[in-house]
Amino acid sequence: MNADSLHSRLASGLKELGIAVPDSDQQRFIAYVRLLAKWNNAYNLTAVRDPEEMITRHVLDSLTLLPYLHGQRLLDIGSGAGLPGIPLAIARPDLAFTLIDANAKKTRFIVQAIGELGLKNVDAVQARVENYRPTHKFDTLMSRAFASIADMLTSTQHLCAPDGRFLAMKGVHPREELTVLPPGYALQQVVALKVPGLDAARHVVIITPPLGTT
């Protein structure tokens, strides 16, 4: 794992995205990738094996959501290896992130990453999202690899604040999925994302909940 190449890819990608973070946070991004690569050997957390590709496909891809975050409390649904929640939490230490996943080994990795990276603004929850009943609801609910958009909305509607929003990360434009949204949900926007170094379609779907139902 070449440290210089990791730093170079990260710095170039951050510049292209227009994201300015202190050196300490850049070190956290690198430390996260190193930790993910280490755990991946035993726990198969991600199909991406090359750390440089992890910078592109995981860190930079996650950071494309930064302009669309809303409010102070954010929920990463089916976070897996902490994506997109951990990169976003590093970039926005002023926001409170909860990362939820039903898988025990993935949650253990998230807990380990939170500790090693010194992230004070992240909580990890092992639970099925439909059974999760926190004290406070969330302003932004996001998913990167959580089934269909309709399934995400129906299983998490009880977690969304009245003025909250849902962010669903997708590859190609999910036209068919958007034809079967649950009643009352409003499609606000589908934004094409450009991930530095990634020659593949990426989109974020922005949806708001029905009025008076959360």
pLDDT of residue 213 exceeding 60, the answer is no
Per-residue pLDDT tens over the stretch 120-142 = 999 999 999 999 999 999 999 99
Task: Report the pLDDT averaged over residues 176-193.
Answer: 96
What's the chain's average pLDDT?
A: 94
pTM value is 0.95
pLDDT of 169 reads 97
pLDDT of 184 reads 95
Does residue 204 contact residue 166 with C-beta atoms inside 8 Å?
Answer: no
pLDDT of residue 214 exceeding 70, the answer is no
**Nearest in space to 69 (alpha carbons), one of 101, 98, 95, 100:** 95
pLDDT of residue 212 exceeding 80, the answer is no
**Nearest in space to 86 (alpha carbons), one of 39, 154, 134:** 39
First-to-final CA distance of the chain? 46
pLDDT of 159 reads 98
pLDDT bracket for residue 1 (50, 70, 90): low
Does residue 94 contact residue 68 with C-beta atoms inside 8 Å?
Answer: no
pLDDT of 42 reads 82
Q: 176 or 147, which is more confident?
A: 176
**Nearest in space to 9 (alpha carbons), one of 47, 49, 53:** 53
Token readout for 78 is 């089916």
Per-residue pLDDT tens over the stretch 144-175 = 977 899 999 999 999 999 999 999 999 999 99
By three-state DSSP, how is residue 144 classified?
coil
